[in-house]
Amino acid sequence: MQFEITKESIQEIQQLIAENNNTSLLHLLSEVHHADIAEIIEEIEIDEAIFLIKLLESDVTSEVIAELDEDTREKVLRGLSSKEIAEEIDELDTDDAADIISELSEQQKKEVISHLEDEEHAKEIVELLRYDEDTAGGLMAKELVKVNENWNVLTCVKEMRAQAEDVSRVHSIYVVDDNDILKGRLSLKDLLTTSTRTAIKDVFIKQVDSVNVNDDAEDVAKIMQKYDLEAIPVVDEMGRLVGRITIDDIVDVIIEEAEKDYQMAAGISQDVEADDTIWELTKARLPWLVLALFGGFVSVSILGGFSEAMESYPVLFFFTPLIAAMAGNVGVQSSAIIVQGLANDSLRGSAWNRLLKEVSQSLINGFVLAALLMSAGMFFLGFELKVGITVAVSLVSVIIIASIIGTFVPILLDKRGIDPALATGPFITTSNDILGILIYFSIAKLILGF
């Protein structure tokens, strides 16, 4: 039965902790999934969380610690000794273990690693720590099942049994040569239906997707998504099999990238959360607000240059916010679609075809909106025809230009290796606000002749 985390259940756990009622706590949490325990720990005080971590068995709490939010995990680990942390690490797969150790200070890293009981496990963790966390090497786990192409099926099965003890899930069986060069993969069906004396090299599948240890994590995610893979092998520069990446790690990458893009599109320059300090939140948000302030100042300066228009045609002033807002909105829409396409690797076709498509749909949108605006302005506000034409032509022009900018700025940023999500939000909005006002009054000057 699934454990239901409610306010009452949290209070019950806190009460048992306060009473040091270990027996009841162990009984209550004995059948609770480690992910639910992690959620419970997120809801209680940090000293209560440390109490639970020390109370429960390491095979459970190691998974709990791996599930925790980074900030909570940091606080929990500060309450544990290096030896206690090592006991938790010993129970984890190498990728999760490396992720946790990487968050420790250099001194504590050394202390924790020195306390690890399994020397081979410790060596593999140290190897993973050498890779950047945003690469395939930083994502991979060392636990996998591999067989030699020169073995026969009987030897292969024996070796697989021994290796599988250290692997929580066997997604694939990889085939290597005597130098550990990845040669292919082995089908479980072929293994079960083939004579025990048959050589593995006669039955394995030579086609296998793999990634290099230095490949970007986002590129790995795209490959696994494209080919619908549950796991993918990782090779080094010599083609040797060094690890594997599983789908759960890729889901984390996708979520983190989506959060980063969302925050960047909203005008937040670094990863922050609601419970971060005021200083951290200010550092993340202030730069974009300064950009918006600068953009607003430029807009005011442009308006100041058309003061004669305000005197001759004051009605133009009332449509200034509308024109600027439409420019910003259209730009954000266009850039959001492109950023999504770049993220999903679904952007296809030539730049000219995309330009033609953007201009075409912008013309349709622009004419429809301009007709609605002109009609409403003339019938309900009663302004003259020339003013109506000015506003309508300006709106169409602004929509076309804003959609083109919103389309091609993310593409140009992506080609230069800059995150295209930077193009959305305040950047596009501010630039198109300025451009919209400039286009509006330039067209007004041309038509109305002030």
Note the pLDDT tens digit of each residue in 173-184.
899 999 999 999
Element (H, E) at 358: helix 351-376
**In sequence order, what E strands does 65-181 have?**
145-148, 173-176
Two tokens, residue 313: 């045609």
CATH number of the domain at 119, please.
1.25.60.10
Residue 258 lies in a domain: no
Round to whole Å and give the CA distance between 301 and 427.
Answer: 19
Domain count, the chain: 3
Shared-domain flag, residues 291 and 206 = no
Give me the domain span that covers residue 409: 278-448
User: In the structure, what pLDDT confidence band is assigned to residue 381 with cuts at 50, 70 and 90?
Assistant: low
Residue 305 lies in a domain: yes
Shared-domain flag, residues 225 and 303 = no
Q: Which of 107, 134, 161 is the last residue of a domain?
A: 134
Q: Which of 100, 134, 168 is the last residue of a domain?
A: 134
Shared-domain flag, residues 110 and 153 = no
Shared-domain flag, residues 47 and 116 = yes
Residue 266 lies in a domain: no
Round to whole Å and give the CA distance between 21 and 19.
Answer: 5
Residue 268 lies in a domain: no
Contacts 24+ apart (CB under 8 A), 15-18: 17/44, 17/48, 17/51, 17/52
* Least confident residue range of 3-7, 112-116, 122-126, 261-265: 261-265
User: In the structure, what pLDDT confidence band is assigned to residue 436 with cuts at 50, 70 and 90?
Assistant: confident
Note the pLDDT tens digit of each residue in 195-230.
888 999 999 999 889 999 999 998 898 898 888 888
Give the per-residue pLDDT at 131. Answer: 94
Shared-domain flag, residues 60 and 171 = no
pTM given for the model: 0.67
Q: Which residues pair with 162 in a beta bridge?
A: none
CATH number of the domain at 215, please.
3.10.580.10
Give the per-residue pLDDT at 298. Answer: 82
Would you say the C-alpha torsion 274, 275, 280, 281 has a positive or negative sign? positive
Shared-domain flag, residues 230 and 370 = no
Give the per-residue pLDDT at 79. Answer: 92
Shared-domain flag, residues 128 and 222 = no
Residue 197 lies in a domain: yes
Residue 297 lies in a domain: yes
Q: Which of 103, 134, 165 is the last residue of a domain?
A: 134
Closest CA to 432 of 354, 311, 334: 334
Shared-domain flag, residues 110 and 175 = no
Shared-domain flag, residues 41 and 90 = yes
pLDDT exceeds cutoff 60 at 378: yes
Note the pLDDT tens digit of each residue in 399-426.
998 888 888 888 887 787 776 766 666 7
CB count in 10 Å sphere of residue 24: 13
CATH number of the domain at 437, please.
1.10.357.20
Shared-domain flag, residues 284 and 421 = yes
Closest CA to 328 of 262, 407, 402: 402
Mean pLDDT along residues 8-28: 92
Note the pLDDT tens digit of each residue in 244-290.
999 888 888 877 776 666 655 555 555 656 566 777 767 766 776 77
Shared-domain flag, residues 66 and 33 = yes
Two tokens, residue 188: 């479980």
Q: Which residues are CB-neighbours of 187 under 8 A, at least 6 positions away?
A: 203, 204, 205
Give the per-residue pLDDT at 422. Answer: 61
pLDDT exceeds cutoff 60 at 338: yes
Round to whole Å and give the CA distance between 23 and 364.
Answer: 70
Shared-domain flag, residues 20 and 116 = yes
Give the per-residue pLDDT at 213. Answer: 96
Residue 403 lies in a domain: yes
| Angle in degrees, CA 327, 328, 329, rounded to 5 | 95
Round to whole Å and give the CA distance between 130 and 138.
Answer: 8
Name the one residue in this structure whose structure tokens are 């083609």. Answer: 239
